[in-house]
Structure 1
Amino acid sequence: MRVVSMQGDTLDALCHRHLGTTAGMVEKAHALNYGISLHGPVLPIGTVVELPNVPAPSTGAAMRPLVQLWD
């Protein structure tokens, strides 16, 4: 997926906004965009960034019970 940075965007902010997570995605985005770190932590406005595909969640994932402290 290709996205364009806005004012003040960082690579992890783009991953969070468009992919919904940063866990492992920032590293993959760095690999897809060779040399993007040369811009520094804040990307210039209009920088085109290729983001990785988010893996589909497995259907056999175990559900954890919700714990609420003050019930």
Structure 2
Amino acid sequence: MKISTIQGDTVDLICWKHYGQSSGMVEQVLNANPHLAGLDPILPIGTEIDLPEISNNQQDSKATIQLWD
């Protein structure tokens, strides 16, 4: 999926909005878009970004901890 940035977008924010988390996603998006490495953290408006398909089993899953049984 390709998107264009809007004012105030960062790679972290885009990952949070699209994938629902940023941990581990930012690295994959940067690998798919090496041109982003040379830009400022707040991306220029209109920067095109390719968001790779990431399946659920590739996303980090957090274990649920039960305090009481």
Q: What range is the shorter-chain TM-score in?
A: 0.7 to 0.9
Scaled by the length of structure 2, the TM-score of the pair is 0.76
Q: CA RMSD in A?
A: 2.4
Aligned residue for 2:45? 45
Work out the percentage of aligned pairs sharing the same amino acid: 35
Structure 1 stretches (4+) deviating beyond 6 angstroms? Answer: none
Determine if the alignment matches structure 1 residue 5 to structure 2 residue 1: no
Aligned residues: 65
Structure 2: runs of 5 or more not aligned: none
* Higher helix fraction (1 or 2): 2
* Higher gyration radius (CA): 1
Counterpart-to-counterpart distance in 1, 2:46 and 2:33:
15
TM-score between both structures, scaled by the size of structure 1: 0.74
